[in-house]
Chains A and B, each alone.
Chain A
């Protein structure tokens, strides 16, 4: 789950969601204008949705000449001060995701539904969106929010990178996969922890990590311990960086953030992971994840 800024109609995803209105003729996709999508929407209005697409429901059409194979149209409710319509907004996400799953889409790009003309407060809309998508069982592997204004981007980024959502991302993986990680950690030998440096001629030196260690790093990425967020700023400001001191008492999301800072950091500065092995940060991360697994994930039982 991640937040990107830009134009949803140009996203590379199997399906994109068009936040429309009951007429099925509104939204970013139609503003861009694709003849095939428009024709299918008109046909839907003439047949199944003679009275319009109800709020909270969704329907799929071809992607026409867009990058996406499918466009999923959903009618987002207008925000009301006097009436709680959050169930309808949650339903937009749930229904769109369900249809994407049925189509076999592996990746879906969502706009911030109802935050534009719908007038929904961005923070509230983001919380509803993330909660609805997290609660829905799905075969879709990647969900992306595509935001158009800075305020909405900030709101969605805040919710997506919150402690709760990061922990929810970890909890979405089955216990079996977590056990594989801990087994791989336990199997690390002193040789795996001692990093050697190659010093080829005419080339900068580089560290050589063992296959066993890379296995652990790969599993961390697969388990969504590596999370997209602004790890540069975070690691500058947090007392947890660099050694992971205090991680035992911090939310499990901080273990993921610290792991991200090390694993991503290796790409920019070779040897970052080696220092994480040496200063205890990686072990603090493993310990925190293990405790979360037994006490909170419930996988230990």
Chain B
């Protein structure tokens, strides 16, 4: 299939012209429109568009401002509100437009939907945003835990995506990129990776989540005002999952599908196409989609799709699994015991192994954690083999009583499933940066939400360490700003587990009917 019209000129309110392609079968005029706005090139969207057009839509795929021939400068994330509204209005005024349209797309393409979600004209009937959230990437820029790898490699990718042999460059450049992430100070890493400075890569180093600079990229406040039904598709190992679930909870009318997927999983894309055809297309035609539970989750461990009435689902209660001396994990409260310790060296930082990652050439999702757990800078706490299944569905957090020899430190917590063969596989994790870390603090760590069945005979394991580099930037221990930090200081960390300092991971465990 080929576009029926190429390079349609879509004028924006400031005079800038963005380009779009239209895809439709012969005599396809008047069909419901699926509108996709992408910064990654509108011609690469074939796999994305094909099933939708075959299923009954006509598709409009637009290149966002400053990308692939569209006018203006590419100012990532900050210009999608006005451009999106102008584009929706333009589509509705075209001769080939019928009566309805839906907005569709993953990641950045989903974010462009949130940017306009509270001001949609009546012609828009549904949104299908996947592996995305309304404050895209801002979670990465938290002051108390800077996700280095994903926004950095994304910035490099969009920096070279319009050059010839782009994919080859990214594949061959993977090692260069990984080396660049080790550059000190970090504000020179863009030059190390690209050969020149990049506005976006400087911006993510200088402006954290709360900076007014990112206000135009934050559409969280629009979600509750979304006037149309939404179907949102996510992955348990996706980089945007926490924000996506926050958005889902704020939505007045929505359904949720979460699979065992990473950010760029083809299965997530297939699930989205299904939602476009089974949910959005009927709505666009003024029909009612087939009944389905509001929340459909893939329960890992059980390896099965299950329906739930809401997120987080009812019937699960928080249970504390306490850290104990001797590397034990148990629901019993801890006894008097001396803290455990380890030495964190930012010059040889604890590595990120699998899990929530997105960069060219890195492995994400569940992996074998044996080598990671063998490191001296990773503590582990493990239950005995389970007598019964333990089913965990919902938000996961940990409370770690912690002290560092330095005033600045990070606490990384990971939950693993240890099989009968002794192999430890990561389920979910999270990191919190601590100020005044040289005083004993109860550090709250929010892990990724999950749905996981720990089988009888398996064991739960909790890892505690001080980093997952380069997914999270290494903590230099000095408190220097992340853009300019150059000094790395080794820290001696303490993790407490006694009655006065009961460190624990808190899991939403399925309540068994008595």
Pairwise interchain contact A67-B212, C-beta atoms closer than 8 A:
no
Let me know if B206 and A65 touch, CB within 8 A.
no
Determine which of A10, A12, A62 lies in contact with B212 in the assembled complex, contact meaning CB atoms within 8 Å. A62
Q: How far is the CA of A12 from the CA of B203 in the complex (A)?
A: 8
B216→A12 contact, CB < 8 A: no
Chain A residues whose C-beta falls within 8 Å of the C-beta of B206 in the assembled complex: 12, 67
Flag whether A188 is at the interface (Cβ < 8 A). no
Q: Mark A48-71, 1 if CB is under 8 A from B, else 0.
A: 000000000000001111110000
| C-alpha gap A64/B214 in the complex (Å) | 10
Could you name 16 residue pairs across A and B whose Cβ atoms are closer than 8 Å?
A10-B199, A12-B202, A12-B203, A36-B212, A62-B212, A63-B213, A64-B212, A65-B78, A65-B212, A65-B213, A65-B215, A65-B216, A67-B203, A67-B206, A67-B207, A67-B213
Of residues 189 to 232 in B, which have CB atoms within 8 Å of A's CB atoms? 199, 202-203, 206-207, 212-213, 215-216
Residues A66 and B202 in contact, CB atoms below 8 Å apart = no
Q: Which residues of A contact B78 (CB under 8 A)?
A: 65
Smallest CB-CB A-B distances: 9 pairs? A12-B202, A65-B212, A65-B215, A65-B216, A65-B213, A64-B212, A67-B213, A67-B203, A36-B212
Could you tell me the distance in whole angstroms from the C-beta of A6 to the nearest C-beta in chain B?
11
A143 CB → nearest B CB, Å = 18
Residues of B within 8 A of A67 (CB): 199, 203, 206-207, 213
Residues on B lying within 8 angstroms of A by beta carbon are: 78, 199, 202-203, 206-207, 212-213, 215-216
What class of interface size applies to chain A in its complex with B? under 10
Give A contacts to B, CB under 8 Å.
Answer: 10, 12, 36, 62-67
Q: Which of B78, B199, B213 has the most chain A CB within a 10 Å cutoff?
A: B213
Q: How far is the CA of A16 from the CA of B149 in the complex (A)?
A: 30
Residue of A nearest to B14 (CB): A33
Which residue of B199, B212, B216 is within 8 Å of A63 (Cβ)? B212
Kindly state the separation between the CA atoms of A65 and B202 in the bound complex, as whole angstroms. Answer: 15
Bound-complex Cα distance A64 to B207 (A): 12
B137 CB, nearest partner CB in chain A, Å: 16
Q: Which residues of A contact B213 (CB under 8 A)?
A: 63, 65-67
**B-side contacts of A62, CB under 8 Å:** 212
Cβ contacts under 8 Å, A36 to chain B = 212
CA distance A62 to B215 in the complex (A): 14
Residues on A with beta carbons closer than 8 Å to the beta carbon of B207: 67
Q: Measured between alpha carbons, how far is A63 from B214 in the docked complex, in Å? A: 12
Determine the distance from Cα of A204 to Cα of B199 in the docked complex, in whole angstroms: 32
> In the complex, which residues of chain A have a beta carbon less than 8 angstroms from the beta carbon of B212?
36, 62-65
- B215 touching A12 by the CB < 8 A rule? no
B216 to chain A: which residues have CB within 8 Å? 65
- CB-nearest residue of chain B to A64: B212
Q: What's the minimum C-beta distance from B16 to chain A, rounded to whole angstroms? A: 14
Q: Which residue of A lies closest to B483 (CB)?
A: A12
Say how far A256's CB is from chain B's closest CB, in angstroms. 23
A66 to B78, CA, bound (A): 11
Known: A63-B213, A65-B212. 10 other contacts (CB 8 A): A12-B202, A12-B206, A36-B212, A64-B212, A65-B78, A65-B215, A65-B216, A67-B203, A67-B206, A67-B207
Which residues of A have CB within 8 Å of B202?
12
Residue of B nearest to A10 (CB): B199
Nearest residue, chain B, Cβ from A62: B212
Most chain A CB within 10 A, of B202, B206, B216, is at B206
Complex formed: what's the CA distance from A36 to B211 in Å?
Answer: 13
Shortest B209–chain A CB gap in Å is 14
* Chain A hits for B215, CB < 8 A: 65
Give the residues in chain A near B199, CB-CB below 8 Å: 10, 12, 67
Question: Once bound together, how far apart are the Cα atoms of A109 and B202, in whole Å?
Answer: 16
- Find the B residue at minimum CB distance from A14: B206
C-alpha gap A63/B78 in the complex (Å): 15
Q: How far is the CA of A36 from the CA of B212 in the complex (A)?
A: 9
User: Considering only CB atoms, which chain B residue lies closest to A12 in the complex?
Assistant: B202
CB A41 to nearest CB in B, in angstroms, measures: 16
Q: How far is the CA of A65 from the CA of B79 in the complex (A)?
A: 12
- Complex CA gap A225/B30 in Å reads 69
Kindly list chain B residues whose C-beta atoms are within 8 Å of the C-beta of A63.
212-213
Give the distance in Å from the alpha carbon of A67 to the alpha carbon of B214 in the complex.
9
**Which of the listed residues B199, B207, B212 has the most CB atoms from chain A within 10 Å of its own CB?**
B212
CB distance from A107 to the nearest CB of B (A): 11
- A63 CA to B213 CA in the complex, in Å? 8
CB distance from B198 to the nearest CB of A (A): 11
CA distance A211 to B213 in the complex (A): 41
B76 to chain A, nearest CB (A): 13
Tell me the smallest distance from the CB of B354 to a CB of chain A, in Å: 31
Closest to A7 in B: B73
Across the interface, which residues of B come within 8 angstroms of A66, CB to CB? 213
Inter-chain contacts of A10 with B (CB < 8 A):
199
Provide the bound-state CA to CA distance between A207 and B12, in Å: 55
Shortest A250–chain B CB gap in Å is 33
B217 to chain A: closest CB distance in Å? 9
Measured in the bound complex, the distance between the Cα atoms of B78 and A62 in whole Å is: 18
Given the complex, which residues of B lie within 8 Å of A12, measured CB to CB?
Answer: 199, 202-203, 206
Closest chain-B Cβ to A67's Cβ sits at a distance in Å of 6
CA distance A53 to B393 in the complex (A): 61
CB distance from B204 to the nearest CB of A (A): 12
Q: How far is the CA of A36 from the CA of B213 in the complex (A)?
A: 11
B344: min CB distance to chain A, Å: 28
Contacts of B203 in A (CB 8 A): 12, 67
Bound CA span A34–B151, Å: 25
Output the nearest chain B residue to A36 by Cβ-Cβ distance: B212
- Name the residue on A nearest B203 (C-beta): A67
Query: Could you tell me the distance between the alpha carbons of A67 and B200 in the complex, rounded to whole angstroms?
Result: 10
Chain A residue at minimal CB-CB distance from B207:
A67
Least distance between B511 CB and chain A CB atoms (Å): 47
Distance A12 CA – B207 CA, assembled complex (angstroms): 11
The residue in chain B whose Cβ has the minimal distance to the Cβ of A66 is: B213
- How many whole Å from B234's CB to the nearest CB in chain A? 29
Provide the bound-state CA to CA distance between A10 and B78, in Å. Answer: 13
Q: Taking CB as reference atom, which chain B residue is nearest A11?
A: B199
Expressed in whole angstroms, the minimum distance between the Cβ of A63 and any Cβ of chain B is 7
**Which residue of chain A is the closest to B78 with respect to CB atoms?**
A65
CB-based nearest A residue for B197: A12
Q: Name the residue on B nearest A68 (C-beta).
A: B213
Instruction: A12 to B197: give the CA distance in the assembly, Å.
Output: 11
A15 → B minimal CB distance (Å): 13
Nearest CB on A from B483, distance (A):
10
Q: For the complex, what is the distance from the CA of A12 to the CA of B200, rounded to whole Å? A: 10
Chain A proximity of B508: nearest CB distance (Å): 38
**A238 CB → nearest B CB, Å:** 28
Bound CA–CA A64/B216 (angstroms): 11
